[in-house]
Structure 1
Amino acid sequence: MRIAYYAPMKPPDALVPSGDREMAGLIASTLVLAGYEVEIASVFRSYEGEGNPGRQEMLRIGAEQEAARLIERYCERPAEERPQVWFSYHVYYKSPDWIGPLVSRALGIPYVLAEASYAASRAKGPWAIGHLGAEAAIRSANLIFSMTKIDYAGVQKILTGRQIHRRLPPFIDPAPFAVMPHNERAPGEPVRLLAVGMMRYGDKLESYRRLAQYLTLTKRKDWTLTVIGDGPARKEVEEALAPLGDQRVQLKGAHPKFEMPKLYAEADIYIWPAANEAYGVALLEAQAAGLPVVAGKVRGVPDVMLDGQTGFLTPENDGEAFAGVVDFLISDADARRKMGETGRRFVTSMRTMEKASVILKHGLLAVVRNKPPRFAWRRRK
């Protein structure tokens, strides 16, 4: 079966790395693993992050023009070479899908969403246009895969009985991280903390600021911090971390994906406050690498950890609690080892591409049985 795949927020081959790009690529690869033929339908970005209604309207018009172009192109193909399913990843008020519903309706094929979010509070305000597009896409979807419990609950409120709604927990390819042997620190050396995150303004910068604040509250000071990431807010991140001391904090910048397993293997504890984090691909990577994780209990983060087993989730904005569990893990090497082993088993057994491919395949088989009607489309002259 041929699938037209689209990520309105960021295409899988985007130049700037991010968790969103990583998951977009993982889902596309997992669909291939499940036996489907996947083609990137469009690289049109509908993302508008400033709350500019005029810009959102321009993006809507541009997306509808792109949809018309795609419909025309697909209609020129022989029937057996057209997509049988349209699949869009990550649709919400900042990156609505204006294209998929139009194309799938014209071709009479199922429209599928993964990681869609619905927030009624955005119906009014600067993102009202984007919210309208996201809501329309969700309401027109034949099948929706929700990746976190909070997204599942929000989307479920506006679905009809005819729509199929399934859980698809966040996942990764854990093999590169799980097979890398841990680089043990020398006796007497400080415990090695690790944080991974792009240095962007907004939530990422807020996570770094919280991290710096929380680490000043630790009673144990026998630790070092390695930071992997880069971006436009690097100067502000450096300023936030500066009070911790140059001898203790090392900023290594961004690294290519293939180097990440080695960097995780050189750490002892992974820490991240996760300010407004959707769920955090890096948290899964750290667990696959055998690291205990300390993170904020925010949004979908509880969906990628086993609290108290693979690490600790602390209340949002509770620096004392965060610092306290970091102190505990620094003090207890046996707890670090046991939690790390549990985290690796959790990810390598439950959060793999193979597990995700089964969920995706079952959902797609269910939706193609109830193929939607095709609507007439007239080619432009």
Structure 2
Amino acid sequence: MGRLLWSALELAGFEPVLASEKRSFDSQGDADFQHAMKKQGSAEAEALIAKWRARPEDAPKGWFTYHIYHKAPDWIGPTVCAALDIPYFVAEASHAPKRARGGWQMGYEAAASAIRSARAVFHMTRLDGECLKPLIAADNALVLLPPFVDIETFIENAAQIDIDAAVTNAGGRKDVNNLLAVAMMRGGDKLMSYQQLGAALARLKTPDWQLLVIGDGERRREVEEALAPIGDKAVYLGAMAPDALPAWYEYADIYVWPACGEAYGMAFLEAEGCGLPVVAGNIRGVPDVVKDRETGLLTVPGDAAAFAAAVDQLLADAPLREKMGQAGRQFVREERTLAKAAEILKSHIEGVL
């Protein structure tokens, strides 16, 4: 999404320049680490301020930061903006009041302060928007920028793949319905999603199907254990480059993913853009990218029986799959495009500048 936002800013007529490569992410809630990041951020901010004051012709007209939250606050941008008197913009911020105390308190407070200072905060889900509302000053804007993909480029760059051979080589079968999941094999929410997926698919009543799994990672063994309930119906295809994915989205019959803890899920948009209906958990930002009963079916989070019933429904109804696939293709290619995102960014950023 960071790269897509960069492309959207360029399409909107702006000239983005990477000001810093500093990464403030703190996965542990370590106060000492946050203090160190604050100190390093302050030093980097002062260096940038000095550089741009010495060469004002090179100074930016505004600052744009992507994905601020308690684990990854912006220790640089607000300081630079205050010193140079330029506006601050934020995309995909999130605000979780439950983090006001505990290991991430310092990061939480820094993120909240940065969000309050932003002239425009672009949020990508309705849930995030509701949480951010209390931080938005009367003169600043809270703007919905729905998740988007550059689906045209995604399709144009698609690699040619011998799908049948790849499936056979991985131990899969031909002439069955293909479910598809694309996800890294790591701990936390990803592993939990694989576990829920295995439990749900083991309940399917439809006999002729297999699960194509694209992804790899350090938790491969645990993922295989999670999918053990479906036995040899799990076909592991390994990690793939992005240009390989369109062919698999086109080949599969249903995209399946419980989406535990998912912010929204870029793979859902990719799948829909390729005409693939979705079954997913109705959680967090997923309803912002999957239109329930139009482009797919959303189920109660963690309800294995409901997830299985939704998959069975689509497996048994090819016309419904086709209808949802076409609706998904239209939704992504008309409403969730790079051009639409550029239009929103251009309107609100230019309005401030």
- The answer to whether structure 1 residue 132 and structure 2 residue 109 are counterparts is yes
The answer for unaligned runs of 5 or more in structure 1 is 1-22, 369-381
The answer for unaligned runs of 5 or more in structure 2 is 165-172
Mean alpha-carbon deviation: is it higher for 324-333 or for 251-260? 251-260
**SS state of the match for residue 121, structure 2?**
strand
Q: 2:203 aligns with which of 217, 220, 227?
A: 217
- Cα distance in 2 between the residues matched to 1:106 and 1:204: 41
Match of 1:76 in 2: 54
Q: 1:101 aligns with which of 78, 83, 86?
A: 78
Q: Is the 8 A contact 1:192 1:224 kept in 2?
A: yes
Q: Is the 8 A contact 2:161 2:244 kept in 1?
A: no
Q: Is the 8 A contact 1:182 1:266 kept in 2?
A: no
The equivalences for 1:104-123 within 5 A come to: 104-123=81-100
Give the deviation of 1:178 after TM superposition. Answer: 5.5
Give the deviation of 1:228 after TM superposition. Answer: 1.2
Give the deviation of 1:75 after TM superposition. Answer: 2.1
- Cα distance in 2 between the residues matched to 1:261 and 1:178: 6
Instruction: Note the alpha carbon deviations across 1:2-27, whole angstroms, 9 max, x for none.
Output: xxxxxxxxxxxxxxxxxxxxx00000
Mean alpha-carbon deviation: is it higher for 66-75 or for 156-165? 66-75
CA pair 243-320 structure 1, distance change in 2 beyond 3 A: closer
Q: How many residues align?
A: 343
Match of 2:238 in 1: 253
Instruction: Note the alpha carbon deviations across 1:239-270, whole angstroms, 9 max, x for none.
Output: 21123123x11122221111111121221110
Q: 1:353 aligns with which of 338, 341, 344?
A: 338
Mean alpha-carbon deviation: is it higher for 110-119 or for 56-65? 56-65
Match of 2:24 in 1: 46
Q: Is the 8 A contact 1:67 1:102 kept in 2?
A: yes
Amino acid corresponding to residue 131 of structure 1 in structure 2: Y
Amino acid corresponding to residue 244 of structure 1 in structure 2: I
Q: 2:62 aligns with which of 85, 93, 109?
A: 85
Q: 2:124 aligns with which of 147, 162, 165?
A: 147
Q: Is the 8 A contact 1:26 1:172 kept in 2?
A: yes
Match of 2:230 in 1: 244
Q: Is the 8 A contact 1:287 1:343 kept in 2?
A: yes
- The answer to whether structure 1 residue 367 and structure 2 residue 352 are counterparts is yes
Q: Is the 8 A contact 2:163 2:248 kept in 1?
A: no
Give the deviation of 1:188 after TM superposition. Answer: 8.1
Q: Is the 8 A contact 2:263 2:285 kept in 1?
A: yes
Match of 2:217 in 1: 231
Give the deviation of 1:281 after TM superposition. Answer: 0.4
Normalising to structure 1: TM-score of the pair? Answer: 0.87
Normalising to structure 2: TM-score of the pair? Answer: 0.93
RMSD: 1.9
Instruction: Note the alpha carbon deviations across 1:99-153, whole angstroms, 9 max, x for none.
Output: 1101111111110000111111111011111101111111111111111001111
Amino acid corresponding to residue 202 of structure 1 in structure 2: G
Instruction: Note the alpha carbon deviations across 1:300-346, whole angstroms, 9 max, x for none.
Output: 11001111000011111111111001001111111111100000000
Q: Percent identity of the aligned residues?
A: 47
- The answer to whether structure 1 residue 301 and structure 2 residue 253 are counterparts is no
Q: Which runs of 4+ in 1 moved over 4 A?
A: 176-185
The equivalences for 1:192-203 within 5 A come to: 192-203=178-189
Instruction: Note the alpha carbon deviations across 1:271-297, whole angstroms, 9 max, x for none.
Output: 110001000000000000100000100
**SS state of the match for residue 88, structure 1?**
strand
Match of 2:190 in 1: 204
- Cα distance in 1 between the residues matched to 2:18 and 2:188: 29
- Cα distance in 2 between the residues matched to 1:36 and 1:230: 37
Give the deviation of 1:182 after TM superposition. Answer: 12
**SS state of the match for residue 146, structure 2?**
coil
Instruction: Note the alpha carbon deviations across 1:40-76, whole angstroms, 9 max, x for none.
Output: 1111111001122222221221221221222222223
Match of 1:271 in 2: 256
CA pair 184-328 structure 1, distance change in 2 beyond 3 A: farther
